[in-house]
Amino acid sequence: MRWNKKLILFLGTIIVSVAIVFFVKNNAFIYNTPVGHVEDVQVLSKVLQEDNFGNKDYIVRQRLKIRILNGKQRNKLLNVNNEYSLSQATDLKYRTGQDVLLHFNYRKGHVAGTTITDLKRDVPLTILATIAISLLVLMGITGLRALFSLLLNTVLFFIAVEIDVQQEGFGVLAIFSILAGIFSLITLTLVLGWNKKMLVSFLTTVVGTFSAIIIGMIVFKITHNGGLHFETMEYVTQNPEPLFLAEIILGSLGAVMDESTDIIVSLAKLRKENPTISMKQLWISGRNIGKTIMGPLLNVLFMIFMSDTFSMMVLYLRNGNGWGYSFSMNMELGFVQSLISGIGIVLTVPIASWLVGIFFKKGAVRNA
Amino acid sequence: MPNAVIILAVILAALMMVVGGATGIRAFMSIILNFIVLFLNIALISWSFPAMAITIISSLIILAITIFMGSDDDRITQNAFYSSVLVLVVLVILIVLIKPHLMIQGFGNENNEDLEGMSLLIGIKFNDVMTSTMIISTLGAVAEAAIAIATGLEELIETTPDLDLAKIFHHGYDIGKEIIGTALNTLFFGFFGSFLGLFTWYVKLNYSFSEFFNNKIFAAEFSMILIGFIGVISTVPLTAWVIQFRQRHAEKHDSV
């Protein structure tokens, strides 16, 4: 009986996933922009190129035969030219069978020319998303809870971004600090339930994160942003420095919560089993748990912050720039973000031990 | 002018030493060593070495540094290392299969300002650079999850001497369930922290849903989060399996 249920869940997940992917594959009719299917590709020319730094590359002109999939021009065939290079830094090499987004240039009400704006990427993204979600669903109630928490946090994140844009970037730090608080309340409640452990973890997360940010701000202040190029931040539409601090708060939040729940759950258990345990013993136990997880946790963030810069780094290095300059223009801010997050992760250890000592008073742990 | 990077690094090193003692110093060293590996990884790729081979070697070194410098217990670290290597294999296959359909290499229109004055015809395939980015971005999370599950299982094995071998996999799965929520959160917030600027850009410039969802940079970030999730989730059964396999092997060895 139990097996049957599992099998049904498994098959059901696969069928639903396939149905979703199939729908997205054929969803051109819901697009407002014209969508086309590449029926055939023909190479027109290939020209070798060499830049000032001796980099050898080539540019290929291709002619794509495209069938329109939606709108008034549906099923119409047309030829569109496209150029791509070996490196494909900002151009793309299209292949037969791909779907692309198009732009019609109208002249006097008639389509006078067509350009490809981008690849239609919704299908591969949907495939990845359905794999991830299916795996979580198959994990049962824990997986569903994690999924719910991620979706809820995503929605809140978008609302906060919307508010930030409406405020024109003023108060970005305040908006995302409040959001960070809400994020931790929701996430920790879903992980630990609504109880004292959750409250202590929440306080630890808030105090740990903000102590790190304050240390970071003090260092920026006394060094007059020494060596930091906030102007190199990507995609910036507002004052970069507070945005950077907001990014640090959000970025380190998950790691700090992870660590504080680990420590607090173990220490609360310790205090419950042994109510006479002293503050010093709590501190030692907290340290022992914390010290083994802080390195791996910091590495999680470090890999995320650093790997994002690879493409730009390669471009800088191949454009005749030195290592030091390329680092400071591309990787330095990610490095600083990692360092400040690391400070938060480390500070969480003593803060968690201290707060457990205060909140789980000797002999008053029945409700813990 | 004093350099903020150095001051912050000194503060972090000092705090890690005070809080973690020798383990803390090793944790700090693991970050520095990983940074050196990452930098060499990029430098070698920019010198036209084969990106896939370089990335896989770098990934193995990074996993080894992160795991073996994180803990003293040999059994935990070995189990965690083997299982994270298995996860790496799964992720590399997934990335190789999905990437030709995503085409997220290089830069988007949103990068135009940063690209001004640069030669883009550099003779290096940004496609390969992206493979490296995607693989390496998930390594930390995979290593962390593998360590957590291996540690939990090891504790269980030590405290229950007559533990049924056949049930180790099941216990591993239970421990995995406990950590999966927080492990995913770490990854999730890590990514949000790195593209807050990008999202304000999309909202400010009024991207339509289709523009936004098919956008190259969004697709790159979103696929990296999802691949990271898939990596962390698959760590759970793979670690449990590695431990069961090695335990069974060790017992066979003992009885001979």
Asked if residue A336 and residue A230 are part of one domain, the reply reads yes
Q: pLDDT tier at B81 (50, 70, 90 boundaries)?
A: very high
* pLDDT of A361 strictly over 80: no
With beta carbons less than 8 A apart as the criterion, state whether A136 and A146 touch: yes
Here the ipTM equals 0.94
Indicate whether A284 belongs to any domain: yes
Two structure tokens written together for A135 = 């795996």
pLDDT at res. A325: 94
Chain A residue with minimal CA distance to B94?
A128
Contact B196 A300 (CB under 8 A): no
Where is A37: in which H helix or E strand? Answer: strand A35-50
Asked if residue A233 and residue A154 are part of one domain, the reply reads yes
Asked if residue A249 and residue A168 are part of one domain, the reply reads yes
Distance CA A273, CA A268 (A): 9
What residues form DSSP beta bridges with A48? A58
Q: Is A127 on the interface with B (CB under 8 A)?
A: yes
Buried b (16+ CB within 10 A) or exposed e, A158-172: eebbebbbeeebeeb
Indicate whether A13 belongs to any domain: no
Q: Is B9 on the interface with A (CB under 8 A)?
A: yes
Percent of chain A with pLDDT over 90: 70
Indicate whether A348 belongs to any domain: yes
pLDDT at res. A365: 46
CB pairs under 8 A between A and B: 413
pLDDT at res. A322: 94
Q: What is the pLDDT of residues A92-136, one digit of tens each?
A: 999 999 999 999 888 877 777 889 999 999 999 999 999 999 999
Chain A, window 60-79: residues with a beta carbon less than 8 angstroms from a chain B beta carbon: none
pLDDT at res. B71: 78
* Cα distance from N-terminal residue to C-terminal residue, chain A: 37
pLDDT at res. A235: 85
Asked if residue A229 and residue A352 are part of one domain, the reply reads yes
Distance CA B98, CA A302 (A): 25
Q: Which residues from B are below 8 Å from A125, CB to CB?
A: 102, 213, 219, 222-223, 226
| Interface-testing mutation among A234, A253, A349, with chain B (most B C-beta atoms within 10 A) | A234
pLDDT at res. B244: 87
Contact A292 B70 (CB under 8 A): yes
pLDDT at res. A117: 92
Asked if residue A248 and residue A167 are part of one domain, the reply reads yes
**Residue A171 DSSP symbol:** T
pLDDT at res. A127: 97
* pLDDT of A1 strictly over 70: no
Distance CA B15, CA A238 (A): 33
pLDDT at res. A366: 47
Q: Is B140 on the interface with A (CB under 8 A)?
A: yes
Asked if residue A191 and residue A109 are part of one domain, the reply reads no
Q: Which of the residue ranges A223-232, B1-10, B87-96 would you say has the lowest mean pLDDT? A: A223-232
* pLDDT of A275 strictly over 90: no
Is the sign of the CA dihedral B48, B52, B57, B58 positive or negative?
positive
Angle at B216 between CA B214 and CA B217, to 5 degrees: 115
Min CA distance, A44 vs chain B (Å)? 19
Indicate whether A340 belongs to any domain: yes
Q: Which of the residue ranges A5-14, A37-46, B151-160 would you say has the lowest mean pLDDT? A: B151-160
CA dihedral B33, B37, B38, B41 (to 10 degrees): 170
Asked if residue A52 and residue A80 are part of one domain, the reply reads yes
Q: What is the pLDDT of residues B144-172, one digit of tens each?
A: 999 999 998 888 888 887 777 778 888 88
* pLDDT of B2 strictly over 80: no
Contact A127 B198 (CB under 8 A): no
* pLDDT of B1 strictly over 70: no
Q: How far is CA B146 from CA B79, B98, B177, B223, in A?
A: 8, 24, 13, 21
Asked if residue A151 and residue A111 are part of one domain, the reply reads no
Contact B198 A235 (CB under 8 A): yes
Q: pLDDT tier at B251 (50, 70, 90 boundaries)?
A: confident
Min CA distance, B124 vs chain A (Å)? 5
Asked if residue A176 and residue A48 are part of one domain, the reply reads no
Q: Which of the residue ranges A37-51, A157-171, B216-230 would you say has the lowest mean pLDDT? A: A157-171
Percent of chain A with pLDDT over 70: 98
pLDDT at res. B255: 61
Smallest Cβ–Cβ distance between A299 and the set B30, B189, B223 belongs to B30
Q: What's the structural domain count of chain A? A: 2
Chain B, window 85-114: residues with a beta carbon less than 8 angstroms from a chain A beta carbon: 98, 100-111, 114
pLDDT at res. A368: 42
* Cα A63 → chain centroid: 36
Contact B196 A250 (CB under 8 A): yes
Chain B, window 24-43: residues with a beta carbon less than 8 angstroms from a chain A beta carbon: 24, 26-28, 30-31, 34-35, 38-39, 42-43
pLDDT at res. A61: 96
Q: What is the pLDDT of residues A290-346, one digit of tens each?
A: 998 999 999 999 999 999 999 999 999 999 999 999 999 999 999 999 999 999 999
With beta carbons less than 8 A apart as the criterion, state whether A142 and B173 touch: no
Give burial (CB, 10 Å; 0-12/13-18/19+) of A79. exposed
pLDDT average, residue stretch B212-239: 94
Name the residue range of residue B229's domain: 4-255
pLDDT at res. A56: 93
Asked if residue A154 and residue A84 are part of one domain, the reply reads no
With beta carbons less than 8 A apart as the criterion, state whether A200 and A266 touch: no
Distance CA B177, CA B236 (A): 8
Q: What's the structural domain count of chain B? A: 1
Min CA distance, A15 vs chain B (Å)? 19
More confidently predicted of A40 and A72? A40
Supply the mean pLDDT for chain A. 91
Chain A residue with minimal CA distance to B29?
A295
Smallest Cβ–Cβ distance between A261 and the set B12, B182, B226 belongs to B182
pLDDT average, residue stretch B191-197: 86
Chain A, window 21-40: residues with a beta carbon less than 8 angstroms from a chain B beta carbon: 31-33
* pLDDT of B128 strictly over 70: yes
Q: Which residues from B are below 8 Å from A250, CB to CB?
A: 189, 192-193, 196
Asked if residue A145 and residue A77 are part of one domain, the reply reads no
Q: What is the pLDDT of residues A182-226, one digit of tens each?
A: 999 999 998 888 999 999 999 999 999 999 999 999 999 998 887
Q: What is the pLDDT of residues B21-47, one digit of tens each?
A: 999 999 999 999 999 999 999 999 999
With beta carbons less than 8 A apart as the criterion, state whether B34 and B62 touch: yes
Name the residue range of residue A260's domain: 139-359
Indicate whether A99 belongs to any domain: yes
